[in-house]
Amino acid sequence: MIPVAWDALVVVVHMSNPLDSISLPQLRDLYLGKITNWSQLGGEDQPLELLIRKGKISGVGYTLRKHLFEDSEVEFKSEFVFPSSGPLEKMVEKNRNAIAVTGIASAHKRNFKVLKLEGRDPSFENIRTGNYLLYRPLFLVLSKNSPNSREADRFIQFALGPKGREIISKNQVVPYFDGMLLLQKRLDEWKRFIRESLAKH
């Protein structure tokens, strides 16, 4: 697994939704089923529909569980479950009461509103510096045993090179080595994980 970029996870709603920002505690309560009406977020008195991905191993779902709860097994409370991000994003475009989380790159290709998180925009600079709080690394996976491994390795080197980083940046995603502050945060998280694991044994 070769890390090539940093992706922001963004909260998205219908374009007509008057809400502009959401806080981390509100996001936690949303996924725990404690927020079910837009009035609880300062919006209209309308039912809120949280759209989620099926299962617990999707990139978005796994990252949300780790960032919001530090628990990859947390159950999200929602009856609006989708098999993949595409149909979920299309429903947000159509449904005035919908709210969901998706990756920044695909969000920019859709016609819906991206909310601020804790008052902070998921701008390229805010993602790069860690000022935006929800992010995840993106990987390319290489099998050394594949008959195409040499070509795959060449593609990975291209992705890590100047032209590849330029393409990544144009898609609102931060090239991996441009996000050194995020890399340090990730190393700190890994060290904490090791310490906690050793303490349990």
Task: Determine the length of the chain.
Answer: 201
CATH code for the domain in which residue 102 is found: 3.40.190.10
Counted domains in the chain: 1
| Residue 21 DSSP SS3 | strand
Dist CA 190 CA 158 (whole Å) = 28
Least confident of 33-47, 151-165, 186-200: 186-200
The answer to whether the Cα torsion of 30, 15, 122, 131 is positive or negative is negative
**Chain mean pLDDT for the chain:** 88
pLDDT number for residue 4: 92
The pLDDT tens digits for 134-144 are 888 899 988 88
Q: Looking at beta carbons, which pairs linking 68-76 to residues 24 or more positions away fall under 8 Å?
A: 68/24, 68/27, 68/28, 68/31, 69/28, 74/31, 76/31, 76/50, 76/52
Range of the domain at 174: 1-201
pLDDT surpasses 70 at 189? no
Contact 128, 174 (CB under 8 A): yes
The pLDDT tens digits for 81-124 are 999 889 999 999 999 999 999 999 889 889 999 999 999 999 98
The pLDDT tens digits for 37-70 are 999 999 889 999 999 998 777 788 888 888 888 8
pLDDT number for residue 181: 75
